[in-house]
Amino acid sequence: MSRRTPLYGWLVAEAISLTGTRVSMIALPFLVLTTTGSATQTGLVALCETLPMVLLKVLGGPVIDRLGARRVSIGCDLGSLVVVGSIPALHTADVLSFPALLVLVALAGALRGPGDAAKHALVPAIVQHAEVPMERVTGLAGTVERASSMLGAGLAGVLVAALGATNALVVDAASFGVSALVLAWSTRAMGRPAPEAAADPEADAGGYRQQLREGWDFLRGDRVLLGITIMVALTNLLDAAYSTVLIPVWAVDAGRGAGAIGVVFAVFSGASALGSVCAATWASGLSRYRTYLVAFLVCGAPRYAVFALDSPLWLVLGVVAASGFAAGFINPVLGAVIFERIPERLVGRVSSLTTAMCFALMPLGGLTGGLLVSGVGLSATMLVVGATYLVVTMLPAIDPRWREMDVRPTHEAPRASDQAKAAAT
């Protein structure tokens, strides 16, 4: 087996899992709407999935460090196969009550939280095993994420239209099973720790609460890492307002319809995937600090300004394409910085905390966007959100500590010991 087999297998598993998740993001709300006719119940289902997902991302960190990211990831995928598969099975049998649906959706979110966090925590061990630069792996991961988002949404539309929402959820459930099998097979060499890699006594010291607190104390004490986490949380909130409210309102007000929404998101996702490919190829030789600043300058405020000025569609799509390409460089750079700053024994705890915090404000994005549009109108809202985006992302330009982003490990692989392989099991 090639040293890069775990990397390729991890990327394939990520693509399968993310595509299935995108299918469920469309199929599940459609199922609820068509069976209940209630927008309120549809929103309640989304809430019941999101809250456990974010909470278990935080609480699952010590478990990931103790059991190993590989085991937790595979186990959560297999659990998701059963839980998500139960929804269409019970619906077909006509025994799926709404309270039962809420319980199943909450369980699905509770499994997805630590499952996604565990896949994320596998990155350092995969980088060391494959002997490639960190930016190469994070760039490829960004490419997979953005391509899966684009293709998954299209696949969901086709599946729901052709097979119905219930059968589309069957496909989603199956994707978790296939993801678990691919990851288990491709990373089996990483599942056998080196004989000399004994358990880290520091990692096992203390109880669960102490281990959880160690992760938080480390994150709080690293100003750059905490700054990245807060910045991404705020930009995710603004992007959620953009995607769930501002763009749909723009399309309706301009009389362009749903087709324009699809074109805008498809162009951005496609350009982002291309940017991630370029980042995987070139980012390891670029200044991370400068790349961060330039990428956010291009992908942030201009995108909002072009909509605020009611620009023609060709100009909108041109700016959106440039923004998407620049955005493709962001996650690979930030991901590399994050993983290189976290000690091996804390990877599960700290990476789970950072991803949970990055997701935490997203549910407020739609509400914030809706309130602003109702209060000051679409154009003013676009300008306010764009200006806020610029301020949030450019603050590192006046904080010298962010220049630490350019400090790379002395070795090509960010982990020098074989303990990363043990942590991956």
- The pLDDT tens digits of the residues spanning 279-320 come to 878 877 888 899 999 999 999 899 999 999 988 988 999 999
In this structure, is the dihedral angle defined by the CA atoms of residues 191, 9, 281 and 268, taken in order, positive or negative? Answer: negative
Q: Best-predicted range by mean pLDDT among 192-196, 202-206, 241-245?
A: 241-245
Mean pLDDT of the chain: 81
Q: What type of residue sits at position 404?
A: E
Q: So what's the pLDDT on residue 13?
A: 92
- For residue 198, give the DSSP letter: -
Distances (CA, A) of 381 to 9, 241, 319, 388, 420: 43, 10, 18, 10, 46
Query: pTM surpassing 0.85?
Result: no
Q: How far apart are CA 114 and CA 52, in angstroms?
A: 10
- Portion of the chain with pLDDT greater than 70, in percent: 88
Whether 419 contacts 129, CB under 8 Å: no
- Portion of the chain with pLDDT greater than 90, in percent: 24
Q: So what's the pLDDT on residue 33?
A: 67
Mean pLDDT along residues 139-149: 79
Whether 334 contacts 228, CB under 8 Å: yes
Of the candidates 12, 318, 5, the residue with the CA atom closest to the CA atom of residue 143: 12
Best CATH choice for the domain 1-192 from the list 3.40.50.300, 1.20.1250.20, 1.20.1440.130, 1.10.1040.10: 1.20.1250.20
Residue 222 exposure: Cα atoms within 13 Å on the Cβ side: 23
- The pLDDT tens digits of the residues spanning 311-361 come to 898 899 999 999 999 998 888 888 888 888 888 788 878 887 888 788 778
**Is 9's pLDDT higher than 60?**
yes
Q: How far apart are CA 333 and CA 319, in angstroms?
A: 22
**Is 397's pLDDT higher than 90?**
no
- For residue 414, give the DSSP letter: S
Q: So what's the pLDDT on residue 273?
A: 82
Domain ranges of the chain: 1-192, 208-408
Phi/psi of residue 283, nearest 5 degrees = -60, -30
Confidence grade of residue 191 (pLDDT, cut at 50, 70, 90):
low
Q: How far apart are CA 236 and CA 270, in angstroms?
A: 19
Q: How far apart are CA 74 and CA 10, in angstroms?
A: 11
Looking at the structure, give the CATH architecture of the domain made up of residues 208-408.
Up-down Bundle (1.20)
Mean pLDDT along residues 384-391: 94
Domains 1-192 and 208-408 share a fold: yes
Q: Tell me the DSSP string of 285-320.
A: GS-HHHHHHHHHHHHSHHHHHHHHTT--HHHHHHHH
Q: Give the three-class secondary structure for 246.
A: helix
Whether 337 contacts 289, CB under 8 Å: no
- The pLDDT tens digits of the residues spanning 21-70 come to 877 777 777 787 678 776 567 667 777 887 888 888 878 878 888 888 89
Confidence grade of residue 423 (pLDDT, cut at 50, 70, 90):
very low
- For residue 329, give the DSSP letter: T
Burial status of residue 393 (CB atoms within 10 A of its CB: 0-12, 13-18, 19 or more): buried
Q: So what's the pLDDT on residue 387?
A: 95
Whether 122 contacts 424, CB under 8 Å: yes
Q: How far apart are CA 328 and CA 141, in angstroms?
A: 10
